[in-house]
Chains A and B, each alone.
Chain A
Amino acid sequence: MSDETILGSIMWDVLSTRTERTLAQEEIKSFYSGFQADASEKIEEIRSEQRRAYEEGKNLILS
């Protein structure tokens, strides 16, 4: 099962079998590693925008 879709695959299984369940620790780890792989580019984009905002803001005057 691929990491980034593990929550969706289990959701599909839960709905199909009508069986509620709690994720095993391995599945939780798999979800977090999948999320982090998917999110790393976005995190870097947000942080680099933030750094640029602070840097450029030093020279902008509002009057």
Chain B
Amino acid sequence: MSQQTNPRFQLFNFTDREIAIADLAFNMHSQHGQLPRIVPLQNAFAHIASLGCTTIVKQHTVQDPDFFAEYYAYYSRTFGAVDKHCHRLHFFSLAAEHNEEVLDFIDRAAASQSYLGFITIRPVRTSPMAATILCFPPDQHFLLSSDRFVVHIAGKTFSVHGTPFMQQDNAVGACAQASIWMALRTLRKREGNSAFDPAQITNAATRFMVRGRTLPNREGLSVDQMIEAIRFAGYSPHIIRFGSGPGKPLDADQFRTAKRKIYTYVESAMPVVLGVFPNANDGHAIVLIGHKWEANTNPTPYLVRDGLTLYHAADWVTTFITHNDNSGPYLDLPEQLVPGYAYCFDQINFAIPLLPNDVFMSGEEAEQVALIVLAGLLSPASSTGVTPAPKIEELVFRTYLMERSAFREWVINTPNMHPELRKYYRMKVLPKRIWISEISLLSEYNRANAGSLSRVGEFIIDPTGDFNDAPFLSIHLNISAILTFPAGIPAPFTDNSGVIIDRAANGSSIKYILLNGDTAYPPLCRR
């Protein structure tokens, strides 16, 4: 590894990640005490290498706000000296030229779109990896809980699109605080809520209930302390539990249920804090930030009723992607325990999605509203006098929360949508956010990733409504695509018939609007 000296910045060629960790990633005077926990760093450097990093700029004397908070909460009060500054490693895919000055490189890199993100290194030997944002993997993953962050280096502006990561600093917080920090920091710009530092998260969590010493906070947080911190930061304290208890692996049904419930939130671009329990007394918090998707030729029916067979879109998710503070960023969460992984999906016991606090209806409730109304809408197909009864095509059901403005933008840009439907959605009065239950044809859904025209309807549900009032705002069904009439039996209505059912927000009016020549269109695909 070559280097050039500079008072504040140094330039390094990135050739070997183990050398880089040994040379660059430690920032403390003392070499005694506990061994450093470097697994997150090792995995982060493996990720950086996979992004094509060739050059590292090391920035010294960084006043990192999160570490400053940890410093003033704890380290400034210790008798032994701890530096209050961090250093930061910035990663680039652009290669440095021979003997290039670091500022020349930074100037050249600023014009090259080669910035891959940064890792902040704390002056704490046991847990060096502080605030970190790295670009997410370039392959076709759905890393939905992410944002674009602006970074300034020596007067030049860079940006990185990714999900903030941090290793727990065991003095001021455990995995629970680190996971909440990652989730809050991801949403700060999008939601405009507080993004507490780890010390503030501990304070918020222990305001009303203390279970032991808060400094150092090595014992972690209970679930109710976690939801108090999340509530205080401006989100709804919603918990979903799974399985038969901590330390008991999920059975097949519990596994499917957990996957389907969690999918709704991950697909809504909400970070989901998960509690995983490899055994009854050993809980760990991680954050789900996205998922991988693959065609599935053998999904399990979600609902079978009155001739209707529905599948759940979660069955097309192969793996969820996590930030795990003690393992590293952008890691798969395997379904069952496999070598090389300490945690897996069937160890989960609860989930806390960071649901905005203006959403009064949970994803589970919204999905049930749509399911019950859909089953009621399609069940008359078997009792309308057409003999034999029409067949209801097998359908795939997918529910997610979306901002009204993003939904309208999607409507404008979605190819093949019926012009009247497009106009209706652009004109319809909607709340700031909406739950959407999307309905697609199973026969086309394996190509949904490639933009196939599989979507044949959707429910728009008011997230501020009451479950008891069936608070849908709009239903669109392309009935001709959903029902197949037996050969030789004339359909009672013309081909390509669709319908919009429009409901006033207060439920006082429900109106049917016909769509002649209705069409199928692609499901939402957001990366």
Which residues of A come within 8 Å of B, CB atoms? 4-12, 14-16, 18, 20-23, 27-28, 31-32, 34-36, 38-39, 42-43, 46, 49-50, 52-54, 56-63
Contacts and interface: CB of A to CB of B under 8 A. Distances in A.
| B interface secondary structure, majority | mixed
Contact of A58 (B224, B384, B492): B224
A34 B364 CA distance: 20
A54 B224 contact: yes
A58 B221 CA distance: 10
Contacts, number: 154
Given A7-B501, A16-B493, A53-B350, A61 B509 contact: no
B193 interface: no
Given A62-B221, A62-B285, A20 B493 contact: no
Contact of B492 (A15, A56, A57): A15
B109 interface: no
Given A14-B512, A21-B512, A58-B222, A28 B507 contact: yes
Nearest to B477: A11
B328 interface: no
9 contacts: A5-B380, A10-B512, A11-B380, A14-B499, A23-B512, A58-B224, A60-B275, A62-B176, A63-B284
A18 B222 CA distance: 59
Nearest to A38: B372
Nearest to A18: B514
Interface in B206-220: 211, 218-220
Contact of B479 (A15, A32, A53): A15
B489 interface: no
Nearest to B281: A61
A7 B376 contact: yes
B513 interface: yes
Given A20-B513, A23-B511, A53-B241, A63 B492 contact: no
A44 B164 CA distance: 38
Contacts of A11: 377, 380, 477, 479, 499, 501, 512
Given A11-B377, A62-B176, A63-B283, A35 B372 contact: yes
B468 A36 contact: yes
Contacts of B283: 60-63
A7 B373 contact: yes
